[in-house]
Structure 1
Amino acid sequence: MIVVGVGASRGVTAEELLDLVQDTLAGLGLELRAVGRLATVEGKGDEEGLVEAARVLGVPLVTHSAAALAAVNVPNPSDAALAAVGTPSVCEAAALIETGAHLLVPKRRSSPSNGPALCTIAVARTAEHPSKENHP
Structure 2
Amino acid sequence: MTGRLVVGLGARAGTGAAELAAAVAAALDAAGLDPAEVVVLATVDRRAAEPGVRAFARDAGWRLAAFTVARLAAQPVPGPSGVVAAAVGTPSVAEAAALLAAGPAAGLVLPKRRFRGVTVAVARTGGRVDLSPPPAGSGGGDNDQNRSGPDRPFVDRDVLVHQRQVPP
Does the Cα contact within 8 Å between 1:3 and 1:39 map onto a contact in 2?
A: yes
Q: Of the two, which has the highest radius of gyration?
A: 2
Cα RMSD, aligned residues only: 1.7
Distance of 1:29 and 1:82 partners within structure 2: 30
Partner of 1:128: 128
The Cα shift of 1:52 comes to 1.1
Distance of 2:121 and 2:69 partners within structure 1: 17
**TM-score normalised according to structure 2 size:** 0.69
Does the Cα contact within 8 Å between 1:22 and 1:31 map onto a contact in 2?
A: no
1:8 partner amino acid: A
The Cα shift of 1:47 comes to 1.6
Change (3 A) 1:130 1:26: farther
Distance of 2:68 and 2:12 partners within structure 1: 17
Aligned length: 128
* TM superposition outliers: structure 1 runs of 4+ over 4 Å: none
**TM-score normalised according to structure 1 size:** 0.84
Quick one: which of 19, 36, 41 aligns to 1:38? 41
Distance of 2:32 and 2:47 partners within structure 1: 29
1:57 partner amino acid: A
The Cα shift of 1:71 comes to 0.8
Deviations 1:46-80 (A, max 9, x none): 12221111011111111111111111111111122
Partner of 1:94: 97
Residues 107-118 of structure 1: matches in 2 within 5 Å?
107-111=112-116, 117=117
Distance of 1:56 and 1:130 partners within structure 2: 21
1:92 partner amino acid: E
Distance of 1:130 and 1:28 partners within structure 2: 25
Q: Which has the higher helix share?
A: 1
Distance of 2:130 and 2:22 partners within structure 1: 24
Matched residue SS, 1:95: helix
Gaps of 5+ in 1: 112-116
The Cα shift of 1:129 comes to 5.1
Gaps of 5+ in 2: 134-157, 159-168
Matched residue SS, 2:112: strand
